[in-house]
Structures are given as C-alpha cells and as structure tokens.
Amino acid sequence: MAENVTSLFRSTAAHSPSMAALTRESGDGTGPVDFCIPCNPYFPTPEMFQDMAARLREIITYYPSSAETITAELCELLQLPPQCVAMGNGSTELITWIDHLLVRESLAVPVPTFGRWTDQPMETGKRVDMFPLQESNGFVLDLAQYAEFIRKRGTRVAVICNPNNPDGGFQHRQSLVQFMDAMADLDLVVIDESFLEFADAEEEPSVVQEAMLRPNVVVLRSLGKNFGLHGICFGYLVANPSIAGRIRSMLPKWNLNSFAEHVVFMLKEHSAEYRQSLQQVRRDRAEMAGQLSALPGLTVYPSQGNFLFVRLPLGADGTVVRDRLLTEHRILVRECGNKIGSSSRFLRLVVRPEVDVRRLVSAMEQVLYDNGGNQENQENNAEAGQEGAQQAAGTIAYEIVTRIGTRVPRVYLNEQ
C-alpha cells in the first residue's frame, strides 16, 4: 500500500479516514483488511447481498417509503410500540437531535468514548463534564463514582455507552436500573446500546423496556454495526412517547434511504442467520482475545463489544504501529491517541474471522518485536514484560498470567 496513504490520518482529527478514501489512495482499487470499523462481518449473508445487488436498480431509482412505514416494520420485528421509537440516519443523527432538543446546559460522559458524545454538545456550546475511566482500573466504569461526579458538578444530562467504545466495558441491567433511579431528577439519561447486540454477559441486558416507562431516559441503538451495514446509516432510539415524538417531529422527511428500507423489510426472513452471525462474532472475540493476549507486553481489556481495546507494550507508539501495519501489511487498525481519555499506546481492534486474526497477529509480531537487533526496542520489550508481570501481580486482579517461554499470555476471567 502506498506510503502517502498514512497522510489521510493527519487530515481527519476525530475519526479514521473512510474505507472509500483509503481504497482510492491504495492505487490498486482494493482496501486494507479492516480491523478499524466495528462491523459484523457475517451479516448480511452472501445470499442477502446477492439479493440486494440484483435489486440495486429498483432500490436506488425510487424514493423510499416514509420513515413512519420503515419504523413500523422495524417495530413489528422488535416487538416495540412505534410511538416509543424514532429511526434516524444512523444513531449519529439521533445524537445530534438529542443534543439540540434535550441537552440544555451540560452533559456528563465517561471517557474515552465515541467522539460524538463529547464533540456534538461542545459544538452547540454545552458544558461537557468528562468522567475519566482509569487505566489503573482497567477502564472499568464505577457507576457509584460516576453518580457522585455528576452530583458534584451539577450536570443535567448523563450518558452511558453500554458496551463502551473503545474499551468494550459492560454494565449489567440491574446496575443501570439503579443508576436511572438515582438520576430520576436529571433532564435526561441516555443509555447508548449501539453495540449491545454483541454482548453475551447477560441474557437480557437491554434497558429498552425501562426507557419507555420513564420520563427522562432514552436508549439509543445503531443498526449499522450489528447488521454489518455501516454505509446505510440507520439506527433508532426508544423513549417514552413524548420524547420519541419530539425527536421524530424534527427529523427530515425521507431521512431513511431506500437501502435502509429494503434491509429492514428483509430482516424477518433472516433472523436465524442474524442470530448465528452474532454467536460467531462472540466466539471470534474470545478466540481473538486469546491470540492477542499471547503477544508479550500487550494487554487486552475484557470487551462485550465487537472490538478489543489493547494497550501496546511500553515504548510502542500507536501511530507508528498503525502506519506500519497499513503500509507494510495492508491492515487497518484504530489508533486511539485522538480519543479524549486515551493515548497513542492504545489500539481498538475490531473482532474479525480467525483467518484475518492470524494475519493481524503475525503482522503485529513483526511490527512490535522483529526489530532486527535494535537495542532500544529490545530493552523496551523487556521492560514491557516486567510491567506486565507487575500488573498481573496486583493492578488488575482478575488477570491470570501464565508464562510459556518468553510469552506472557493474559486471559481475563470475565472474557467469554
């Protein structure tokens, strides 16, 4: 892949360059292996793609139905009352309207997190109270401390991403219900469940049913990630009829495109394949966590999303690792240095099939450890090994460390 492809990262401050831009820049019309964009690789099935391809002309020639028609179909599928649902052009469109309509002065959000949750309210002049997730605590969100932080600052809106992006941290349903109870006087509590379909820590982890009953709760759901269709941009929110209706009334006519309509109407025929695809992603996540954990000095955090947050060995610079993986191995990863609350020592790696993970691991071995006898790097790696052992001894109590030769594999107990 051409060297100048890495310049694309310098021109996009908050997000990675698009796959279309990277493909254009590659010179040969093919994109890299994508460990960056958190998308379900098993859905839609090849047959569904064939069906869409065969109907392409029909799909894009005509206007879609109204959002009301598409939302009614989605609601039938999900067994939700349509008056409690608003569908948007990606959950990003809904975040925008939540901010415009429901955030009046201040919003709290744990960081690092999805950039729109910090940037959108700042762009409209709101105070954003960022609650730093602690690296020393494995980036685990302590809801009691978060609640105390909100009270101290007098914040009026609280956001929780469950699971959180980029670390994949997860909150159990009951803890969230308690949090919502404690925050009943706030203007709004948003639970962003954009990645929740990938979780397997709990049978029924969603708080959607709670949101419909409460005066100040919105649950946000993206469809691009779990349905493997980011380019379509569709998502929805669930809230009581008054909040959902207010948001719906602001959304532009035809905010959902005809691909979104086509997919929503296809879904009921394909629910078994969809469920299987999620199971496969969960199995891949466990497998990939195991493979990456075997890399010396690399820490893999427990994740319930379709991505893994990893800390590079001491001394490794994420931007260099990202650029070398792209130019030398045609692998795209998300370096997290531009995420508030994170640093260049962290990468977010999307869960992918085993064959791609083998390629990633081999490339990372070359980039991180194949240093051609470079003295400084070898010292850094040795230091990283020591640091890993210290951490295993105390800092992260649930980590099991087993030594196999010089390797330090890490397995987290709550990683399925």
Ligand X SMILES: Cc1ncc(COP(=O)(O)O)c(C=O)c1O
The residues of the shown chain that bind ligand X, judged by CB under 6 A, are 90-92, 114, 161, 165, 192, 194, 222, 224, 230, 235
State in angstroms the smallest separation of the CB of 361 from ligand X. 24
Query: Looking at beta carbons only, is 114 or 131 nearer to ligand X?
Result: 114
State in angstroms the smallest separation of the CB of 382 from ligand X. 36
> Which two tokens mark 165?
């992006």
Which alpha helices (H) appear in 208-353, and where do they start and end? Answer: 208-213, 241-250, 258-266, 271-293, 318-329
State in angstroms the smallest separation of the CB of 37 from ligand X. 8
State in angstroms the smallest separation of the CB of 6 from ligand X. 22
Distance CA(147)–CA(200), nearest Å, equals 26
Q: What is the CA radius of gyration of the chain?
A: 22
Query: Looking at beta carbons only, is 31 or 168 nearer to ligand X?
Result: 168
State in angstroms the smallest separation of the CB of 221 from ligand X. 8
Query: Looking at beta carbons only, is 192 or 399 nearer to ligand X?
Result: 192
Q: How far is CA 230 from CA 28, 114, 301, 413, 415, in A?
A: 23, 15, 25, 32, 26
Burial 50-72 (b: 16+ CB within 10 A, else e): eebeeeeeebeeeebbebeebbb
Q: Does residue 302 have a cis peptide bond before it, meaning omega lies within 30 degrees of 0? A: no
CB count within 10 Å of CB 226 equals 22
Interior CA angle at 166 toward 220 and 19, to 5°? 90
Task: State the pairing for strand pair 235-238/157-161.
Answer: unpaired
Query: Looking at beta carbons only, is 294 or 340 nearer to ligand X?
Result: 340
Distance CA(133)–CA(114), nearest Å, equals 13
Query: Looking at beta carbons only, is 5 or 159 nearer to ligand X?
Result: 159
Is residue 223 within 8 A of residue 235, CB to CB? The reply is yes
Query: Looking at beta carbons only, is 230 or 329 nearer to ligand X?
Result: 230
State in angstroms the smallest separation of the CB of 95 from ligand X. 6
Distance CA(184)–CA(368), nearest Å, equals 48
Distance CA(202)–CA(304), nearest Å, equals 10
Query: Looking at beta carbons only, is 99 or 192 nearer to ligand X?
Result: 192
Distance CA(146)–CA(141), nearest Å, equals 8
> Measured at CB, which residue is nearest to ligand X?
90
Query: Looking at beta carbons only, is 260 or 384 nearer to ligand X?
Result: 260
State in angstroms the smallest separation of the CB of 10 from ligand X. 21
State in angstroms the smallest separation of the CB of 230 from ligand X. 6
The helix/strand/coil state of 103 is: coil
State in angstroms the smallest separation of the CB of 91 from ligand X. 4
Query: Looking at beta carbons only, is 36 or 289 nearer to ligand X?
Result: 36
CB count within 10 Å of CB 285 equals 25
